[in-house]
Amino acid sequence: MTDLCDVLLAQELMHKLRNLSRDIIVVEIKMRASLFLLLGFAAFASAGLHLCRCGLFTTGFHGEYIAYELPGIDVPNCHYKHTCEGRCIDEFKELAAGGNLYAASGDTTVGQVICSNHHHSIDNEMVYLYSEICNGPWRYTGEHSMQKLCCDKDHQHYMCD
């Protein structure tokens, strides 16, 4: 009787092991499929659009400082430097009134928007437009503000002397 019980117990154990092995294989297949889909999505996303950045810079004692960054623009690939630069110029003309620091920007001025986002006072500095694509170097676009920028220590824009 104990031999029969041992045989039945062994058969039941073998059956459970087979089911467990099958379940483990199914989970592994699902995990691999999920990983494959995730990697495929990441590859698709990175092969898609690339970021073009547009920044307004001032010149300080120790070099160029980014005073304000305009919203990023997507471009098809990292070789579109001229497209990036052109779109930055268009954005500068539209959002920063072509460099007129006294032009209205919402309920304030372009100059005040820049001063509010800058971390120190600025005294009689031109604002220069730069573009950057795919984390490369910032490149001067040839565009600059119409007036010099002045910001006090409290980040308030004022008319330069």
Examine the pLDDT at 14 and tell me if it is beyond 70.
Answer: no
Q: pLDDT band at 8, cuts 50/70/90?
A: low
pLDDT of residue 40: 43
Radius of gyration over alpha carbons of the chain, in Å? Answer: 30
- Residue, of 44 and 71, whose pLDDT is higher: 71
Q: Give one DSSP letter per residue of 119-139, joined into a string.
A: SS-EEEE--EEEEEETT---E
Asked if residue 153 has pLDDT above 50, the reply is yes
User: What is the value of pTM for the model shown?
Assistant: 0.68
Per residue in 35-54, pLDDT tens?
544 544 444 444 457 799 99
Compute the distance between CA of residue 63 and CA of residue 81 in angstroms, rounded to an integer: 23
pLDDT: which is higher, 84 or 2: 84
| Residue in this structure with the two tokens 């220590």, named with its chain if needed | 153
The pLDDT confidence band at residue 152, using thresholds 50, 70 and 90, is very high
3-state secondary structure of 49: coil
